[in-house]
Amino acid sequence: IAQELTQVIRATDILARYGGEEFVVQMQDTDLKAGLQLGERIRCAIEQMPLLINDDSIALTVSIGIAQMRADENQLQVLTRADTALYQAKREGRNRVVLAE
C-alpha cells in the first residue's frame, strides 16, 4: 500500500506511517478541494490494487479523513481532526473520503 501511495501522491507531499495500519500524507500549500481530489485518487488506486492470497483475490478498500490546518491550531490538533474524520468515514461504511469539520 505504501508503494501504491508513493505513486499517487505528488513529489512535494510527505508520506508517513501513523500507527499500525494508518498513513498520513502532508500536503503543503493545498486547499481542501485539492486534498479531497487526492483522497479520491488514493481511494480509487487502493480499490483497484490486486491482492492475491492463495490464488484468491482480496478486495482492498481505504477510509480517508482530510483536514486543512487552521491558523489557530498546531500539527497535533489538525491530525486529531483528520483522525476524527477518518473514523467518521469508517462509521459511514468505509471506502470513502470525509472532510474534517
- Please list the active-site residues: 21
Residues 83 and 65: beta-carbon distance below 8 Å: yes
Rounded to an integer, what distance in angstroms lies between the CA atom of residue 19 and that of residue 34?
Answer: 25
Q: Which three cell numbers stand for residue 18?
A: 501513523
- Choose among 39, 23, 53: nearest CA to 96: 39
